[in-house]
A and B are shown apart, each in its own frame.
Chain A
């Protein structure tokens, strides 16, 4: 089917493929079936209570299915899904470590507390949050932490808005219009800066894989509001000149922002606060192993040094004189609220459980073994015939690329046929055909050996027979997709047959 034959948005194309395709829940439905029954409350008709003009004309076209059909559908869908629990998932920059099962039990214990109930009747969950707030401040070396942001990018927005509020309070809001990001930065960094009303200036990566200090100094000036950095950076290298970078940024009055995506490399062993960072955000779904859930919910707490604390988003948790924990009202200088309530509490309590069970020694072992595993796999991958972008001791991840003539995309698809997940591909943008690998500390040496062996095998296969590369994957639930067609004529929903 060529892209031009794709039907317009909302028009169902399913009929043509039904025989060959896995059904949608709508295609398993029949009128009158039900899986679950809520309590029924009899009484006056809705037209009487609500007024006819407020009622909908037709019921929504939701599927009607029996319970066992529902169970089979979503169980079979789960079987069409790769996961960490299934096999190794070494996505660079994503920290796909094991998610402990005991955290799920902990989360259930706090899931029925309502954020508007009497504070005295919610001291359990509030205590958990207050302890986490303090622990994250200690771990990052910051003075205060807000747990509110719902994801890393949301934490970035909070951080950059605080920096903006700080400059405005000093009367420098008009003057400081620029945020500096390295060219290897995560895409969220420049997107956040523009969402906060700033222009973005990129500085290049130097020949050693770190920020080019001369170019960086040249970009600095009185117009710079903030510098956003990840350390270790997206090449998996620690910015050895970080103290000089911090000093140079502060010398022109800019604030230094720490993107916490790569904290797993140094957790317990080094702190952004000690490096000179003024703001950090953390991705609890990375370093602190709250489940990724197929794309969220994440959680992105943000920590600051004392001079930025007046701008923190509410609510902050405080310990009252009587020993209880409560939420402090909005500070008059605060950037405001970023979302409703306290944050993604279900994830916050999981992260609390992780820190409680590891302690400082456990966290240090996490970063140590994460770095050991990444270096081990770098060596094994080099032996398997891959080029390493900056072949020196790396931190928790590294960037490789295939020999000339082979495409990263093809090799990634070939890996799928071996039942393992590819690394992050084509990022960072500063390395051609990039393969960004982050095994994390929870994989065993045997698993890394097996992964390296598969990497070697697909490379040999691709060199021997290019059609093997081109045609992969062959054994997955579906094979390569027409992504261009999907974007050109988007079909974003199933057209439910009219009742």
Chain B
């Protein structure tokens, strides 16, 4: 099923027009020794057999039941209208809009996306999206290094552990030092920032759910001439102070919570929104408004002099594509829900998390939070998190993202909620944790 339309007669006609006898002749430039190697692949399946195989495999995956998984990705409500509109043929099967006269659909939707991200973050210039939240944070650090000409990056331990790993990957080849600010009471303490620091990076809400002292952290960075990078959950910005309000220079994060499924971790999209002075340092695509020769408003990729296809080795980044389709899903989703809908989702998530934390505490659970938390928090446990996850999964519940050792909490997991979390879900989790002796053992420890 190679989706090739050619009949035998078509092939003969084409070969005659080209002036060669057979298709093998077309590959004569490939050295003989390299041609047609043995490649082991399974025998092809037709559509029916493929979908049967997919059914068998998908049956091995748990995708229903109470779900308390977070760690940067959460299964929030996505109205049916969002994927239905985003997955129209024209959006799915278009290329990058290099011919703007026939690409106004994607260009305008991206301009709308940029506007919405500016509104959410309170900063004036958004790119057209990036790969994911973690790589967007790394690109923000590189931007700060370019802008300040300094070579140390300070990152809070509260930033997602995988993001810190990605930062390391992006920074080591350029000889940029990465220093981690350790947490105190699950909260980022305001650090001493030296004059070598290009930027301070903090995440809000943090990996362990804490609402960080973002204003104080921004002030500490600016006091030393460094930039402040706010890694944020965009849905939380329906209620939380925006990066612009707290004084951040750069807002970055992962857009999954704005209308993408969790998708086993991808693709969602990364976003980056910056203050006005950093505009020309932005990596990635940008869409700008202009006019056509008739004076009609129109949109076009702009400021491309920053990018790899023009600047080659002098480009701001090697990034070539954006995550257009997943960012489009977020755009449509934000328009579908509006400020009120997003606010209700964020508030519902917060209320459910506080309800769950209260219930766990009442049952003897060792809940840990900073002074304030959003929709995720830590539960310290008596066993390896993977063991607990397995045991909960066997009871039909998905929960328990591991908190790495670097947090110094011993065995610990995070639990997250959304507006979709129900009273029944919470009761099921409590009952399972109680059955497994997780709350009991914590209680004994507390009593002892």
Of the stretches B186-194, B195-203, B315-323, B440-448, the one at the interface is B315-323
How far does the alpha carbon of A39 sit from the alpha carbon of B78 in the complex, in Å? 11
Q: Does A473 contact B (CB under 8 A)?
A: yes
Contacts A112-B75, A313-B169 given: A78-B296 contact, CB under 8 Å? no
Residues B204-257 near A (CB distance < 8 A): 211, 215, 237-242, 245, 254
How far does the alpha carbon of A299 sit from the alpha carbon of B320 in the complex, in Å? 12
- Interchain CB contact (< 8 A) of A40 among B95, B289, B344: B344
Interface residues in A, total, Cβ within 8 A: 203
Of the stretches B11-19, B148-156, B359-367, B431-439, the one at the interface is B11-19
Interface contact A372-B2, CB-CB below 8 Å: no
Most buried by A among B14, B126, B169, B263: B263
- Interchain CB contact (< 8 A) of A295 among B77, B106, B292, B401: B106
How far does the alpha carbon of A134 sit from the alpha carbon of B77 in the complex, in Å? 35
- Interchain CB contact (< 8 A) of B51 among A18, A25, A61, A102: A102
Q: Does A192 contact B (CB under 8 A)?
A: yes
List the B residue with the shortest CB-CB distance to A201: B313
How far does the alpha carbon of A152 sit from the alpha carbon of B321 in the complex, in Å? 9
Interface contact B58-A124, CB-CB below 8 Å: yes
Residues A213-251 near B (CB distance < 8 A): 237-238, 240, 242-243
Q: Can you list 11 pairs linking A and B with CB atoms under 8 Å apart?
A: A22-B297, A81-B90, A150-B323, A271-B34, A291-B92, A337-B169, A393-B26, A478-B101, A481-B292, A482-B292, A485-B291
List the A residue with the shortest CB-CB distance to B350: A49
Q: Does A115 contact B (CB under 8 A)?
A: yes
Q: Chain B, interface size: which category?
A: 35 or more
Interface contact A480-B101, CB-CB below 8 Å: yes
Closest Cβ–Cβ distance, residue A38 to chain B (whole Å): 4
Q: Does B158 contact A (CB under 8 A)?
A: no
List the A residue with the shortest CB-CB distance to B133: A340
Q: Does A335 contact B (CB under 8 A)?
A: yes
- Interchain CB contact (< 8 A) of A297 among B82, B131, B335, B341: B131
Q: Which residues of A contact B294 (CB under 8 A)?
A: 20, 478-479
- Interchain CB contact (< 8 A) of B88 among A78, A200, A240, A487: A78
Closest Cβ–Cβ distance, residue B9 to chain A (whole Å): 9
How far does the alpha carbon of A480 sit from the alpha carbon of B124 in the complex, in Å? 27
Q: Does B325 contact A (CB under 8 A)?
A: yes
How far does the alpha carbon of A490 sit from the alpha carbon of B124 in the complex, in Å? 12
Interface contact B289-A491, CB-CB below 8 Å: yes
- Interchain CB contact (< 8 A) of A445 among B6, B63, B163: B6
Q: Does A207 contact B (CB under 8 A)?
A: no
Q: Does B157 contact A (CB under 8 A)?
A: no
Q: Does B409 contact A (CB under 8 A)?
A: no
What 1/0 flags go to B324-363 for Cβ under 8 Å of A?
A: 1110100010111111111111011011101100000000
Q: Which residues of A contact B389 (CB under 8 A)?
A: 116-118
Q: Does B4 contact A (CB under 8 A)?
A: yes
Q: Does A356 contact B (CB under 8 A)?
A: yes
Contacts A113-B262, A117-B389, A295-B321 given: A274-B302 contact, CB under 8 Å? no
Q: Which residues of B contact A153 (CB under 8 A)?
A: 308, 318-321
How far does the alpha carbon of A73 sit from the alpha carbon of B332 in the complex, in Å? 10
Q: Does B120 contact A (CB under 8 A)?
A: yes
Of the stretches A301-309, A374-382, A400-408, A459-467, the one at the interface is A374-382
Interface contact B338-A359, CB-CB below 8 Å: no
List the B residue with the shortest CB-CB distance to A448: B14
Interface contact A188-B320, CB-CB below 8 Å: yes
Q: Which residues of A contact B116 (CB under 8 A)?
A: 60, 62-63
With A60-B238, A70-B336, A105-B54 known, 4 other A-B pairs at CB within 8 A are: A17-B291, A62-B337, A77-B104, A487-B288
Closest Cβ–Cβ distance, residue B135 to chain A (whole Å): 5
Q: Which residues of B contact A454 (CB under 8 A)?
A: none
Q: Which residues of A contact B169 (CB under 8 A)?
A: 161, 313, 335-338
Closest Cβ–Cβ distance, residue B368 to chain A (whole Å): 17
Q: Does A333 contact B (CB under 8 A)?
A: no
Q: What are the 3 A-B residue pairs with the smallest beta carbon separation, nearest first?
A: A341-B265, A81-B105, A293-B325
Interface contact B101-A413, CB-CB below 8 Å: yes
Residues B53-95 near A (CB distance < 8 A): 53-63, 67, 69, 71-73, 75-77, 79, 81-82, 85-95
Q: Is the interface of A mostly helix, strand, loop or mixed?
A: loop
Q: Does A121 contact B (CB under 8 A)?
A: yes
How far does the alpha carbon of A83 sit from the alpha carbon of B106 in the complex, in Å? 11
Interface contact A337-B162, CB-CB below 8 Å: yes
Q: Which residues of B contact A269 (CB under 8 A)?
A: 27, 30, 35-36
Interface contact A393-B25, CB-CB below 8 Å: yes
Closest Cβ–Cβ distance, residue A67 to chain B (whole Å): 6
How far does the alpha carbon of A141 sit from the alpha carbon of B371 in the complex, in Å? 55
Q: Which residues of A contact B58 (CB under 8 A)?
A: 109-110, 124
Q: Which residues of A contact B339 (CB under 8 A)?
A: 59-62, 64
Q: Does A385 contact B (CB under 8 A)?
A: no
Contacts A115-B264, A338-B166, A365-B4 given: A492-B286 contact, CB under 8 Å? yes
Interface contact B94-A83, CB-CB below 8 Å: yes
How far does the alpha carbon of A44 sit from the alpha carbon of B276 in the complex, in Å? 37
Closest Cβ–Cβ distance, residue B334 to chain A (whole Å): 5
What 1/0 flags go to B298-317 for Cβ under 8 Å of A?
A: 10101111011111111101
Interface contact B313-A340, CB-CB below 8 Å: no
- Interchain CB contact (< 8 A) of B303 among A122, A368, A473, A490: A490
Q: Which residues of A contact B102 (CB under 8 A)?
A: 81-82, 416, 421, 473, 476-477
Interface contact B132-A340, CB-CB below 8 Å: yes
Q: Which residues of A contact B122 (CB under 8 A)?
A: 56
Q: Does B177 contact A (CB under 8 A)?
A: no
- Interchain CB contact (< 8 A) of B263 among A91, A111, A371: A111
Q: Does A206 contact B (CB under 8 A)?
A: no
Q: Does A278 contact B (CB under 8 A)?
A: no
Closest Cβ–Cβ distance, residue A261 to chain B (whole Å): 10
Q: Does A34 contact B (CB under 8 A)?
A: yes
Q: Does B372 contact A (CB under 8 A)?
A: yes
Contacts A116-B71, A357-B47 given: A151-B321 contact, CB under 8 Å? yes
Interface contact B262-A115, CB-CB below 8 Å: yes
Interface contact A294-B29, CB-CB below 8 Å: no
How far does the alpha carbon of A468 sit from the alpha carbon of B398 in the complex, in Å? 63
How far does the alpha carbon of A193 sit from the alpha carbon of B318 in the complex, in Å? 9
Interface contact A13-B264, CB-CB below 8 Å: no
How far does the alpha carbon of A382 sit from the alpha carbon of B47 in the complex, in Å? 40
List the B residue with the shortest CB-CB distance to A275: B34
What 1/0 flags go to B258-287 for Cβ under 8 Å of A?
A: 000111111101000000100100000111
Interface contact A274-B34, CB-CB below 8 Å: yes
- Interchain CB contact (< 8 A) of A342 among B28, B120, B265: B265
Interface contact B95-A62, CB-CB below 8 Å: no
Q: Does A41 contact B (CB under 8 A)?
A: yes
Contacts A49-B354, A117-B389, A492-B287 given: A135-B41 contact, CB under 8 Å? yes
Q: Which residues of B contact A253 (CB under 8 A)?
A: none
How far does the alpha carbon of A197 sit from the alpha carbon of B145 in the complex, in Å? 14
List the A residue with the shortest CB-CB distance to B116: A62
Interface contact B81-A36, CB-CB below 8 Å: yes
Closest Cβ–Cβ distance, residue A13 to chain B (whole Å): 7
Closest Cβ–Cβ distance, residue B132 to chain A (whole Å): 5
Interface contact B134-A50, CB-CB below 8 Å: no
Interface contact A35-B336, CB-CB below 8 Å: yes
How far does the alpha carbon of A81 sit from the alpha carbon of B335 in the complex, in Å? 20
Closest Cβ–Cβ distance, residue A427 to chain B (whole Å): 8
Q: Which residues of A contact B317 (CB under 8 A)?
A: 191, 195
Interface contact A339-B132, CB-CB below 8 Å: yes
Interface contact A9-B279, CB-CB below 8 Å: yes
- Interchain CB contact (< 8 A) of B99 among A102, A298, A422: A422
